[in-house]
Amino acid sequence: MEEELSQIIEECRTAVEDPEYPAVHQWLEANPDGKVLGHFQVYFPEEIAHAAGMLPLKMMGFDSSVQIREADAHIAAFVCSILRTSLEQALSGRLDFLSMYVTHPICDAARHLTGVWTRRFPEMNCQILYLPQNATSPHAPTYLLGEYRRIAGIVEEITGAPISDESLRTSIEIFNENRRLLRELYRIKRETPWQIGLTDSYLLMAAAGAMPRERHNELLEVALPLIRARDNRPQDKLRIVFEGGYCEQPPIEMLSVLQDVAYVVDDDFMIGLRWLTEDVSTSGDPMQNLAVAYLEASSYSPVQRDPRKPKEDMLQERIRESGAEAAIVAAPKMCEPALEEQVAYDDALTAAGLPHLIMEFEEKTTNFEQARMEIETFAESLLFEFA
Amino acid sequence: METQQVAIRPTLSHAGDTRAASRVLMDNWWKQLGEADATASPVANTFVMGSLAEVLNTFDLPMSFPEVAALQTAVKGKSMDYLLAAEDLGYSPDICGYVKVDIGLHATGRDHPLGKYPKPGMVIASNMCNTYIKWAEFWERQYGCPVFVLDLPGWRGTGFEYDSSSETFRNDVKYVEGQIRDLISLAAEVSGKKFDIDKLREILGNVNRMSELYRSILAMNKNKPAPFNALTEGINYMGIANILRGRPEGVEFMETVLTELEERVAHGVGAVPDERFRLLLVGTACYTNFREFVGMFERWDGIFVASEYMSYAGGGIDRGLNYDLSRPIESLAEQILITTQPSMSGIFFSHEWQAKVAEEYDIDGICYHGVKSCRTTAAGLPDAREWLLNNAGVPGLFIQSDLVDSRLWAPAQMRNRIDAFFESLQSRRIQAGV
Ligand code: SF4
Ligand code: SF4
């Protein structure tokens, strides 16, 4: 049982961490005419690509296993690391299999990535998908539907496969299933965090963006009952929420430092995979349902403006709902949106009397000692306080 | 002994008109903001890219442009005081300095070196810079004022052009028009005034005229020598174009500028006495050490004949706004899209524009100035530089500092790079036998 679980986790680890994208190559071998669509963080309606038979691949950055050789000559030094590793992957030829690349205007630095990409890869179809930033405008849903249709049109051109309502419904069902499984994984983290460590739960989750979703569903279908069936004992660890992983990801070693010290009962790692919080309806116009879900039944992040979801309130809700005792409010180095949000989070959590640690991280860090010290000191001070 | 040639500059009857006019207009602007603060009348905070001054002016809402105000603190040598005050509150050294200057100003009693800095009564933040939205959220939290995010769908990819009959264009226009109508309701509520469509028409007419004049002003620099420096004088033109967009004083100012420049051209007077190198500036200047920065180019008789800043930070006014006054709101939506898209979201794909400008203005080289504060303008510059060199044969210089953070100003290093660049331009000339 444990062996089966570790095999699953290993498969996920390879898909997420291997900069050669083995899961994609495997898919391409099985689908020699298949096309791959790369999309940068945070949210992309992957169902649209899937419905035309494309493989959507999430650009999630890499840790120190990817050496920056060329990217720095193309992008200014004061940008975050995920932009640089993603560009490096492209410049090194490892992403040559992409037929289409989409970014979103999530931040000012990421918008430039499309420009760079366009100049470097004139043969690739590079697009910006403008997700609405005036989310409460009564015109936003229609506008977003138009954007989805535009992207769908390009996907159809590239694949030669029309996206019918039927094929889109089938894709939505597959992705609904995936989101349901991910919600289940997060329920385990919340209710019985001793059943699975943070690094394993992270890999199980993140792999969704790095392999065909059908395969990911299969893996989670097997893994979740195995995790539930474990007989681990709860330890006296602090329950915390990790905030700040919506785009660039901390390296696995840093997660391992965290899991040594605390139970991370909820987080926003790779939030785009879990952006839609409910099943997307398959009745009626499926494209419209996807657009409405983005606006009406979705999570939050520093890169989406929606006055109905004040971020500091949302974070407190996340803390409350997961029964956490404290939060780590992190930001990737040089990440403008996350760094700007930190002060508001800090103020709100302080006012609410919620203990929290403000910190920065970088996917390429190799020295974890400082992070360990910070986190340990924070946790110890609280354990002492709660004792 | 070498004989030194002294250029005798003719006396020009319009010399100094622009400078005098802009001083008065800027003073008036600060006075207006101060009065609004004293009388607690609502002020609209808005940004240079996507300001919708057209709507705000219809309701006579005084407009505060926090970017202009932040820039001015740097020119006055005060930005670090505010910036450090914001960092004391926990704001990171790695975020936009304009935001921090503003936060510092609000935290320290709103005393700007040029006048009283009012509280916002409402905010318009376009998505042309994502940081605008974060910045607006700061005021929202601090003052509880309404924030209107104007979402302008931008360029989808390189060479993106609007075919006004395309579905994408119609979709975008509908969205923007809807938002403009919502904004009109909000501005009416905040100002307590009724919407007057004829007044909007009048303002749009003024913007049309300003845009026409602004374009003529830019085109003046196709002359040799170029009559104005886009880096120093240009920023002034652009500042007024923003704060007085749509107002008769704005039109008059542009007329004054044009008259002065026409006279310079007629007399062969250039912005630098002996123009030798014609440059395009991509990115912004460094305002904490502005004179020094400018001097590093002028000592080589280099003149910035064009600047990307005068395009995107002019709110699309350089692209030829041409509002149809018979259907003001619809036309406002269309024109805002048609002009802001290439000028603002085109920043990310601006290589083609740069190549075009380099040709039209007979540019010798491009200066890419990356500022840490502003990823919006700076993140992709190294790549654009390489593209221009390889695809258009235009050499580029990449330097870095900041807008308002003097800690990032490293003059010796910068001077070396600039000197080396001019030397290379010089040897190119010699090789080309020019
Ligand atoms: S980590 Fe932050 S700065 Fe970097 S791409 Fe993501 S949102 Fe932008
Ligand atoms: S990031 Fe640049 S464009 Fe945006 S507010 Fe700051 S200085 Fe202005």
Task: For chains A and B, count residue pairs whose Cβ atoms are closer than 8 Å.
Answer: 176
pLDDT digits (tens, 9 = 90+) for B22-59: 999 999 999 999 999 999 999 999 999 999 999 999 99
Rounded CA-CA distance B241/B81 in Å is 28
C-beta of A330 in contact with ligand 1 (< 6 A): no
User: Looking at residues A21-40, what average pLDDT do you find?
Assistant: 98
What ipTM describes this predicted complex? 0.95
Upstream peptide bond of A286 is cis (omega within 30 degrees of 0): no
Rg (chain A; Cα; Å): 20
The dihedral over CA atoms of B247, B132, B154, A98, expressed in degrees to the nearest 10, equals 160
Per-residue pLDDT at B1 = 40
CB A198 within 8 A of CB A258: yes
- Angle ∠(A331,A336,A342) on CA atoms, nearest 5: 45
C-beta of A56 in contact with ligand 1 (< 6 A): no
**Sequence-separated (6 or more) residues with CB below 8 Å from residue B252:** B21
* pLDDT digits (tens), chain B, 434 positions: 444 455 567 789 999 999 999 999 999 999 999 999 999 999 999 999 999 999 999 999 999 999 999 999 999 999 999 999 999 999 999 999 999 999 999 999 999 999 999 999 999 999 999 999 999 999 999 999 999 999 999 888 766 666 778 889 999 999 999 999 999 999 999 999 999 999 999 999 999 999 999 999 999 999 999 999 999 999 999 999 999 999 999 999 999 999 999 999 999 999 999 999 999 999 999 999 999 999 999 999 999 999 999 988 888 899 999 999 999 999 999 999 988 888 777 788 889 999 999 999 999 999 999 999 999 999 999 999 999 999 999 999 999 999 999 999 999 999 999 999 999 999 999 888 86
Hey, what are B61's tokens? 């809402």
CB B129 within 8 A of CB B347: no
Alpha helices by DSSP H, chain A = 2-17, 22-30, 46-51, 81-91, 108-120, 140-159, 165-191, 198-206, 213-228, 252-261, 286-296, 311-321, 336-351, 369-386
C-beta of B67 in contact with ligand 2 (< 6 A): yes
C-beta of A87 in contact with ligand 1 (< 6 A): no
Distances (CA, A) of B106 to A211, B101, B112: 49, 9, 10
Rounded CA-CA distance B18/A375 in Å is 59
**CA of A249 relative to ligand 1 center, distance in Å:** 10
CB B251 within 8 A of CB B33: no
Contact A336 B134 (CB under 8 A): yes
Q: Which residues of A touch B91 (CB under 8 A)?
A: 339-340, 343
Q: Tell me the pairing of strands A36-40 and A55-59.
A: parallel
3-state secondary structure (DSSP) of residue B118: coil
Q: Which residues of B touch A359 (CB under 8 A)?
A: none
Q: Which residues of A touch B92 (CB under 8 A)?
A: 331, 339-340, 342
Contact B130 A137 (CB under 8 A): no
3-state secondary structure (DSSP) of residue B365: strand
Whether chain A has a CB inside 8 Å of the CB on B413: the answer is no
Q: Which residues of B touch A109 (CB under 8 A)?
A: 375, 379
Closest atom, ligand 1, to C-alpha of A81: 4
Q: Which strand (E) or helix (H) includes residue A262?
A: strand A262-267
Upstream peptide bond of A42 is cis (omega within 30 degrees of 0): yes
